[in-house]
Structures are given as C-alpha cells and as structure tokens.
A = this chain, B = another copy of it.
C-alpha cells in the first residue's frame, strides 16, 4: 500500500503521494479529484475508504507528444496511461527554465542582443509565453519568448519597462530556435532589423531604486488587534467559522477550491472554484495577434501562487496553507504559505435606528477571507473566497501587477494600446474569468432559474391603472447551454431546490448569483480567440454535473484550437432541472491601459456573490452580537489643533 488514507478525499496532493506517483512517472503531478459519489459516501461515513489518485502529465524521450497517466497512490498502480497526440499540457517550471536558458544563450539571439549595443552591465531577460495559435496546423510545443532589457541588479528592478524589439520562438521539446519574430515599433506591421537601443529610463517600483525621498512620509500605522485570537478553527483542510463549515482543497491548476460548503449544518455547495481565465490581446500586429493566455489552463493559479508574507499580504491573525508541486525528478517541492486565511471587518453589516428614540442596532460585517496571489510572469491576480455572517459567499478578484509591454518607437501613439512610458506600449486586452459553482442546496438536486423584473401596465392596464406595478417573472433552465444577463430587466440567476419550500415566503429555498455584467470576448466566432475560449462568449452557463468536468475551456488550453469544455458540455441534450447541476459565470474586464497602470497597476477589483434568497426565514445575521465600544475599542481622534467652526454657537 502507498500513501495514507487518513486524508480527506479532496485534500491536496501530499508529498508522499507525489513520490508514489513520481516513482512511476514524472512531470506535472496533482490530485485527480475522486468521483463525487465516492466523496459524498465518504462525507456520510468517513470509515469508507476512497482511493486517492494522482493525475500526471509527462513527456517521454521517444515521443513529441503529451502523455497523461492516472496513478492510484493508495494501491500503487497505474490506472490509465495514454499518449495525447493533439493536446499540449500546461507549462511546467522545468521546461520553462530550459526554454528560458536556451533562448538566452542561443547564438542568433545573442547576435540580436549584440545589435542593441546595450550599456555595460545591462542584461536581457526573457519570458517564454504560451505561443497561442493562429493557423490550427502547428503541432510543435512552442514558446514565444518576449525579451526585456534590465539595467539594474536590484531584485525588484522592473523587468518589463524596456521591452526588446525581437521575440524568438522556441520548440520546447527540441529546444530549437524556430524563428525570431521582429516586433513592429510603429503603428503598422512594418518591422526593421534590430537597431541600437534608443536609451530610455526604466520606470521603477523598487523601494531601493526609488530612494526614501521618493515616498510619502505621512502614512501612519494601522494594525489589527485580535486579543482573543481569530474566530475560526482549522483541522487539516477543514475550516469552521461563524456557522460556515467547508473543506479547502488546493491544486496546481485552480489554486484553492471550496468543497462541501455548509452553513448552520445545511448543505450549500458541493464545490466552488475559479475555473478558467483567458486574456486575449486586441493588437493585430504579428506576433501579438497570437497573444491569448489561459492563466489557469496554461500556467495554473496554484502553480504560480506566491509564498505569502506575514504583515504584507494581510493584517491581523493569519493562518497559512501550504501546497506541493513536484520537480523534474518527481520529488515533492513544498510551496509555503500559498493561501492565507484571516478575518476582516468590512464596515457595517446592517443597521437600524428607531428614530422615535434614537436607539441604534448595529451589526458589523465581519468576514473570513481566504486569499492567494498568482503571479503569471508580469501580471498578478489576487483572488479570495470571502465568507460573511449573513450567509453570503463572495468571490473576489483583484487584477494587479505589471501590464504586458510592447516596444514602440518613441513618440509614436498606438491605437491598440496606450503609451505607458517613452518607448513602451501596453496593448488593450480583456480578462475573462469563469467561476464554477456546483450547488447542493439542501441536497444534490437543484435547478437554475432566472428572474426578470417586468412592468405590468402594457400587458395588463386594468390590474395596474397607474402604471407603477412590476412583476418578477421566473424562467427555469431545463437544458444545458449558455445564457445571457439582462441589466435592463434586472435579471438575476438563482439556484433553487424546488423540493424545499421556505415556510415564510412560500418560495423554494435558493441562493442568487450577484453576477458582474461584462463585455464578453470581442473576437468573433471565426477567430481562434473565440474558438479556444467559447466559455468567454456568454456570461452564464448551465451544465449537468459529470465527474472531471471542471475547467471552462477544457482540460488542455495550451496552444489549443478549440474549447473542449463548456463549448462541448453545454451542447448535450439532457435535463438540468432538479438535477445535479453546475452553474458557471463568466465575467471580467476590458482593460484599456493607462499610464497610471505603470509600473505596477493599482488593483482593479471585481466581486461575484452568492446570497441566500428564501433559504432562511430571517436575516441570518440577526444573531450576530451588536456592535459596541466595549468590544471594538475605537478611539476619538485628539482634535488638538483642530478648529471646529460649527461649535461656535
């Protein structure tokens, strides 16, 4: 027998398990989520044994293709093994480094670097990017290496401020240079031979480079004190806080995953996860037209997770979770502090003042935040699952980091982006996220409905003589598919359990999705951008649950030519009403870049929420102790030196 069975079936892959899987085969090793029926059986009775399996993506010397194996790490057997002739696996650290080194030492690349005639001490770094696709024919595993001039050895020197005007493409298997793309520097697609570098100052964010005089001096400390410690408890990956109870999974692709989420002992969700994210760029000039990252499928929000630092990423009392990846030899590598958990005070949760006597009841909005940061080369995503005391679950996304930069002839202004520093253009792009919700409201069978608010007068003037009435019109989704939002109708999607009726409202118990109405992918259905990310063409998707259908754009996105996820699953003709159903929400932002986004952009925040509706009989936070000074210990500012005009009665 191999690894321990003491683990929850959805616990992240453990070092022992990685070793067990890697003793057989190596490369990208992660937990293969067990079948749901086995997990549910285990949750009902943890004496039941659930085999734990690892999914392994790997390459072998004799084949240019991706191989995939499933290893049962309990029984130490290979469950399945196949050569995938038409898929590229995600990027792994080792190959990334090999390509990086191959690029930086290739004589042709060095020749181009030489033509730049860089000053003494300057170095050139390169970021191997997912190649994307533009012809559907290319089957080699390729990386597009974007190169940058770095003048400073400071570890926080901006690596993206001085983009070089050429971009080699490498074959990751052979490490051969396929060709060098010369980057257009003007408004059109014209390229020229590499010219000596037109010296420019990098725009820096390093505290050391900027020097202490650069910084504002008047920010005073603000600290969170929790004299009795935090309000949560943790057992392994099981977390309990304020009537919430859930299992925190974690994997290299999705990062943290919420499972078996309950509130007050009632089942809410089998799973909530960040499923995919794609970033198509809007610049048609070669090679930028291929630029379209799938930051979960290509890179992995888990694999690129930062090691979080105490006092930097959160205030207050912090609990951290670790993860594991494997190295090229198949040995487990500890990824320290990849998820942090802490409580925050988010202002007032609810308030009412009886104006007849001025007595106020105030409840504060205490929240539990599970947060992580994924660094995908230049860019950062800060993601969080946030729980509150009114039984709402929020999924927060902050987009920050350094925008992808392109070299530009100085003085040229581009219509595909904004000049963020002299000689540096940041192309406009979209970020389209997909969050996956497998609900289990009071049981595994739920329905998805949407409700529109519709005026009555035009259809029924007798009922509504003054024209003020409006109705809430529900539509039940019976078939899988992609569905639209409609702000003009205040359309709200709801998860309901049609078999459980709220005794007060007479309506089925439900949770509503507070969606983010967003511009969907702008590239048309004939483009590879669209075909690869069909999930980004509609804000709402509904499918019937099946094991292994986790990723909105399908399992393999790297150099993909089509979406093998929602594009396929949503086409099945099957019932999704009062079924084990999955709700997917695509949202995002079209980022028209600004100089203010450079060197590092202020975080752009988006929030999706799941809120109860007829799930409870009263405000679920009615039982939160009222806010008072004894508990909160606020301080009146010392107003010495303050002139208070308005008191001179």
Contacts and interface: CB of A to CB of B under 8 A. Distances in A.
A642 to B, nearest CB: 5
Contact of A619 (B234, B344, B602, B638): B602
A593 B345 CA distance: 26
Interface in A463-482: 463-472
Interface in A144-163: 155-157, 159
A110 interface: no
B306 A159 contact: no
Contacts of A310: 629, 634-636
A536 B247 CA distance: 45
Interface string A225-257: 111111101111100001100000000000000
A118 interface: no
B222 A224 contact: yes
A131 interface: no
Contacts of A62: none
A322 B402 contact: no
Contacts of A639: 234, 319
B15 A649 contact: yes
Interface string A212-227: 0011101111111111
Given A125-B356, A284-B463, A313-B348, A472 B643 contact: no
Nearest to A379: B352
Interface residues of A, number: 209
B420 A601 contact: no
Given A361-B156, A466-B528, A470-B282, A601 B619 contact: yes
Given A603-B349, A648-B16, A529 B467 contact: yes
A230 B637 contact: yes
A203 B618 contact: yes
A322 B645 CA distance: 10
Contacts of A343: 222
Nearest to A304: B355
Contacts of A622: 205, 210, 599-600
A311 B634 contact: yes
A265 B243 CA distance: 49
A278 to B, nearest CB: 12
A458 interface: yes
Interface in A592-649: 592, 594-603, 611-639, 641-649
Contacts of A226: 220-223, 635
Interface string A310-328: 1111111111111110000
Contacts of A365: 603
A1 interface: no
Number of this chain's copies in the complex? 2
Contact of A598 (B369, B526, B597, B618): B618
Contacts of A458: 524
Nearest to A375: B353
Interface in A372-425: 373, 375, 377, 380, 382, 388-392, 398, 400-402, 413, 415-416, 418-422
A12 interface: yes
A220 B224 contact: no
A575 B167 CA distance: 49
B243 A216 contact: yes
Interface string A340-377: 00011101111111111111111011100101010101
Contacts of A345: 222, 224, 315
Nearest to A231: B220
B323 A646 contact: yes
A621 B602 contact: yes
Contact of A618 (B422, B599, B603): B599
17 contacts: A7-B645, A219-B625, A220-B226, A223-B225, A236-B644, A306-B353, A317-B636, A321-B646, A323-B646, A388-B602, A455-B524, A468-B523, A487-B517, A489-B519, A517-B517, A594-B614, A602-B621
Given A220-B227, A237-B645, 17 more contacts: A215-B624, A219-B231, A220-B229, A223-B224, A236-B645, A304-B355, A309-B362, A332-B649, A347-B603, A351-B373, A353-B380, A420-B504, A487-B517, A489-B519, A490-B518, A596-B612, A602-B620
**Across chains A and B, which 3 residue pairs bring their CB atoms closest together, nearest first?**
A311-B629, A390-B602, A284-B469
